[in-house]
Amino acid sequence: MLVPCLLTFTLALAPGRPLVGVAANPPAGSTGAQFLVGVRDAQRMGCRLMTSSHKWSELEPKPGEYVLKPLEDALNGLPLFGFTVALTIQTLDTNNRTLPPDLMEKPLDSPEVRSRFDALVRKIAAKLGKRCPWVMLANEADVYLATHPSELEPFCTLMDQGRRTLRAARPDILVGVTCTHDGLRDRPAAVGRMNREMDVCTLTYYPLGPGFGVRPVGDVPADMARMVRGAGGKPLLIQEIGYPAAELLGSSGAKQAAFVDAVFDAAERHASAIAGLCFFILHDFGDKLTDELLSYYRLPDPRFRAYLATLGLKEADGKPRPAYERFEARVARWLKGGGA
């Protein structure tokens, strides 16, 4: 559920320990200088890495016509401030295809799609600096493919080619395809196929049950162990970690805070296998953006809305939830080398 242009920072830690971060979006309705409120908050806690996400359709709105300035701004500007950048190119984004309009209905392994994606990847490879160690070629791809299973192998063909092209230009870059924890649990063969040729295993983690109700916080240790096993010895990057606070979903501010503690405890036990983990999000989205996301995901469900609208460690107006205080305290300990 990576939102375009959302600023995601991770914390600079001692070598050998996972990076920890939070998606540092601003309070709802922020404009201009207010947009930096979330950024400053993350920086105050020691944040030094940003995740930058871009849809293929935005990068190439017309055949062979590239709009790369937003991507370049992230890749060139952020390192000047000491940030490292993790880049996601959204070919698939959760339940959406995000290809250019003229390619939207074409098979993912068609010569035209492969040629155009290859050209895009080469363009992007030329923009990557030394402060961009990870590039993901899709976001939560398993969600789309669960309802389009015949496209799995064509998608993997496209991704594997994209990885080869990128690695040929930049052998130092680790390439991945972001999937979900639930996909790893419920469709391990498909997720395994997507990761077979990749360098990093990248997942999102939202422990939800039917109807978007929260699962027990006590499930976190087993879920974390499953993600580590699923990585198969490759670095594990948990791109998003979220737990809504909505009472409608069986949650609360206290449960969300307990979830934060549980994730840090579990990550400490698997520290050597995890490259990074990023909590999602700093502030609730607010009504306007939540409604836009409901339309984008085509899920006009009150329970889905409650999920999207209460993921923040703070409320939309900036009021901290208990989870924010827990996150701040756990980060401080993490930076000192203590997880529990």
pLDDT tens per residue, the chain (340 residues)?
Answer: 654 445 554 544 444 678 888 888 889 988 766 767 877 787 788 767 678 899 999 999 999 999 999 999 889 876 776 677 889 999 999 999 999 999 999 999 999 999 999 999 999 999 998 888 999 999 999 999 999 999 999 999 999 999 999 999 999 999 999 999 999 999 999 999 999 999 999 999 999 999 999 999 999 999 999 999 999 999 999 989 999 999 999 999 999 999 999 999 999 999 999 988 889 999 999 999 999 999 999 999 999 999 999 999 999 999 999 999 999 999 888 888 865 5
The C-alpha angle with vertex 23 and arms to 211 and 75, in degrees rounded to 5, equals 130
Given this model, what pLDDT does residue 123 score? 97
- Alpha-carbon distance 339 to 103, whole Å? 47
Given this model, what pLDDT does residue 340 score? 52
Tokens 């990076």 belong to: 19
- Alpha-carbon distance 187 to 1, whole Å? 18
Give the residues across from 205 on adjacent strands. Answer: 241
- Alpha-carbon distance 56 to 80, whole Å? 26
Are 91 and 98 a contacting pair, CB within 8 Å?
A: yes
Given this model, what pLDDT does residue 38 score? 78
Residue 143, both tokens: 């969600």
C-alpha distance from residue 265 to each of 187, 225, 327, 330, 334 (Å): 26, 12, 12, 10, 10
Tokens 């200088």 belong to: 33
Identify the CATH class of 8-335: alpha beta
The C-alpha angle with vertex 280 and arms to 297 and 17, in degrees rounded to 5, equals 135
Q: How many CA atoms lie within 13 A of 111 on its CB side?
A: 0
Identify the sign of the CA torsion 102, 103, 104, 105: positive
Which is nearest to 339 in space by CA: 239, 226, 260?
A: 260
Q: Which residues are within 8 A (CB) of 78 and not within 5 positions of it... i.e. 6 or more apart?
A: 50, 52, 84, 85, 131
- Alpha-carbon distance 134 to 103, whole Å? 26
Task: Give the max Cα distance, the chain.
Answer: 52
Are 142 and 194 a contacting pair, CB within 8 Å?
A: yes
Which is nearest to 52 in space by CA: 9, 96, 11, 1?
A: 9
Gyration radius of the chain over CA positions: 19
302-309 and 287-297 are packed helices; what angle lies between their axes, rounded to 10 degrees?
130
Given this model, what pLDDT does residue 11 score? 47
SS3 95: coil
* Domain locations along the chain: 8-335
Q: Which residues are within 8 A (CB) of 129 and not within 5 positions of it... i.e. 6 or more apart?
A: 75, 76, 79, 85
Supply the pTM of this predicted model. 0.93
Query: Could you say which DSSP state residue 73 is in?
Result: I
